Amino acid sequence: MARGDPSHPEHGGAVAVPEDLPPGSVVTSSGRVSVAEVFVEPSNTDHPFTPVQLVRLDEALTLTSRETGLRFSVYLGDLGPDVQARVTELHGQLEGSGEAVLVAVSPEQRVVEVLTGAEARVRLPDRGSKLAVMSMVASFREGDLLGGLLSGLRMLADQAGGRRPTH
């Protein structure tokens, strides 16, 4: 409601109250509908990892990147209707995408993709990526999201080998 509107409560106007307000609702003096809701603890679907698990995942990403010289990243979430396009878009946003390895997981869609940049692809053949994906999927089926990601990262790092010397 705009200030100066004749129906504004400050100007003696009445606030219209919808007849279909849900229980626990009230229309405030400004005309806003306020609804009381019972507090619900966030579920694992809201936050799939505990803070300790996030630290473990961060450490795994840091170590695999440090050991191999490649830039490992994990994306966890919906990948939309065109999975391949979305994974390519996410990979392109990574710093140093030529040396980047993106592990994209969409649990709701049951999709796991590994996309490597041009430099990373030389050291990480498709066969190695497929084996890591199969390992991750097996863990995911058992309900172990973190374990699947950690073992997948380890397998990808092992396939890529150690950091290459720079001249």
Q: Where in the chain are the domains?
A: 8-39, 51-160
Q: Are strands 71-76 and 33-35 parallel, antiparallel or unpaired?
A: unpaired
pLDDT tens per residue across span 48-106 = 889 999 999 999 999 999 999 999 999 999 999 999 999 999 999 998 889 999 999 99
* Highest mean pLDDT, choosing among 33-37, 39-43, 134-138: 134-138
Residue with tokens 């066969």: 127
- Is the separation of the CB atoms in 67 and 162 below 8 Å? yes
Query: So what CATH class is 51-160?
Result: alpha beta
Nearest to 33 by CA among 19, 21, 41, 49: 21
What the block records as the tokens of 144 is 């172990």
Question: Is the pTM above the cut of 0.95?
Answer: no
Beta strands in the chain (DSSP E): 25-27, 33-35, 71-76, 100-106, 111-116
Phi, psi of 136, rounded to the nearest 5 degrees: -65, -45
DSSP state of 11: G
